């Protein structure tokens, strides 16, 4: 992976799993790993945390033709199946491409900012900035360099590590409408209570800009997901059967994770006129 960017001492490029090159970040603010493959953040642990915040499957494949299972897959320029092309990869191709390192900085307090880019000249330019500090900021900016409008879906499909999802709740989406993928995308309303997990859960919450909080009493921590530039939030746990059906997901791993995904999907896809840009940001903090 040729890189002509000067790296701060806290940032190294090294061979990762499967020999895929990755950025390894270790500063006084914490540690992280980002693969060039998919600009895929696979690990983050702030100095204040006693355990990793992101979940990564022990069965994940690390190969150029496969998405990494866990961390933060970037779903772009579509989410889920591509209705126009059933043979196209689920969740778009951005997580299957090698991104380019555009910048790496460390500030006086040890906060490290990494910027990676991906472009398809006549379609889009994507820049992804990851800031590793006391909190984690992930910022996906999409620019339309073409002469025609560009419509896309996007998701930061974040897998969070939890002690046991059966004892976890997610607040912030009370009274919010959602599409229930487990029930054929039926439209439902979240009651005035936090989400709790008793079976496969796969929901697209609509028209919501609120912060979500993962309450994880087993790990004695809460994880807060603030967001800007995002109108939908996906919440997912595969539970037993779906976990067993995925080769790159351990049969017994499903209690260890929950996805809370910052996104713009479905009716909330974005359209950029020529020359326009859009930024979606997720800010993750642990307490
Ligand atoms: O975000 C939830 C979801 O759309 C689920 O339906 C499930 O398919 C998950 O994404 C993982 O998708 P992947 O293509 O990464 O296996």
pLDDT above 80 for 183: yes
**What is the C-alpha to C-alpha distance for residues 80 and 198, in angstroms, rounded to an integer?**
23
Q: Ligand 1 test: best mutation among 40, 80, 82, 246, most atoms within 8 Å of CB?
A: 80
**Residue 80 near residue 45, CB atoms below 8 Å:** no
pLDDT of residue 145: 97
Average model confidence (pLDDT) across the chain: 97
- Separation of 29 CA from ligand 1 center, angstroms? 31
The first and second tokens of residue 82, run together, are 């591509």
What's the whole-number mean pLDDT along residues 16-37?
98
Q: Is the CB of 91 under 6 A from ligand 1?
A: yes
**What is the C-alpha to C-alpha distance for residues 111 and 106, in angstroms, rounded to an integer?**
6
Minimum-distance ligand 1 atom for the alpha carbon of 248: 16
What's the whole-number mean pLDDT along residues 70-79?
98
pLDDT above 70 for 2: no
74: confidence class by pLDDT, cuts 50, 70, 90 = very high
**What is the C-alpha to C-alpha distance for residues 169 and 193, in angstroms, rounded to an integer?**
9
**What is the C-alpha to C-alpha distance for residues 156 and 73, in angstroms, rounded to an integer?**
6
Q: Is the CB of 81 under 6 A from ligand 1?
A: no
Minimum-distance ligand 1 atom for the alpha carbon of 90: 14
130: nearest Cα among 110, 116, 109: 116
| 2-11, 46-55, 75-84, 93-102: segment of lowest average pLDDT | 2-11
pLDDT of residue 1: 60
**What is the per-residue pLDDT across 211-239, written as a single tens digit (0 to 9) for each?**
999 999 999 999 999 999 999 999 999 99
pTM for this one? Answer: 0.98
């Amino acid at each position: 992976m040729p890189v002509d960017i000067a790296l701060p001492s806290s940032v190294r490029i090294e061979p990762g799993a499967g020999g895929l090159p990755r950025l390894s970040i270790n500063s006084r603010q914490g540690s992280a790993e980002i693969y060039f493959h998919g600009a895929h953040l696979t690990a983050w642990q702030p100095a204040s945390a006693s355990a990793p915040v992101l979940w990564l499957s022990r069965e994940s494949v690390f190969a150029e033709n496969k998405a990494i299972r866990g961390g933060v897959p970037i779903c772009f320029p579509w989410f889920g199946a591509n209705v126009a092309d059933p043979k196209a990869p689920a969740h778009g191709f951005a997580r299957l491409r090698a991104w380019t390192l555009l910048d790496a900085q460390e500030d006086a307090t040890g906060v490290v900012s990494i910027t990676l880019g991906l472009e398809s000249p006549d379609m889009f330019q994507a820049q992804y900035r990851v800031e590793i500090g006391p909190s984690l900021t992930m910022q996906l900016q999409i620019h339309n360099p073409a002469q025609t409008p560009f419509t896309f879906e996007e998701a930061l499909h974040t897998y969070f590590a939890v002690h046991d999802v059966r004892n976890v709740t997610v607040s912030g989406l009370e009274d919010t409408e959602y599409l229930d993928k487990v029930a054929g995308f039926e439209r439902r309303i979240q009651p005035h209570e936090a989400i709790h997990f008793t079976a496969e859960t796969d929901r697209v919450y609509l028209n919501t800009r609120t912060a979500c909080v993962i309450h994880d009493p087993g790990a004695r921590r809460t994880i807060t997901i603030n967001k800007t530039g995002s109108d939908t939030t996906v919440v997912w746990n595969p539970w037993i059967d779906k976990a067993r059906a995925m080769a790159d997901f351990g049969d017994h791993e499903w209690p260890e994770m929950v996805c809370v995904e910052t996104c713009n999907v479905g009716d909330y896809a974005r359209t950029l006129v020529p020359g326009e840009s859009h930024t979606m940001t997720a800010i993750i903090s642990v307490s």
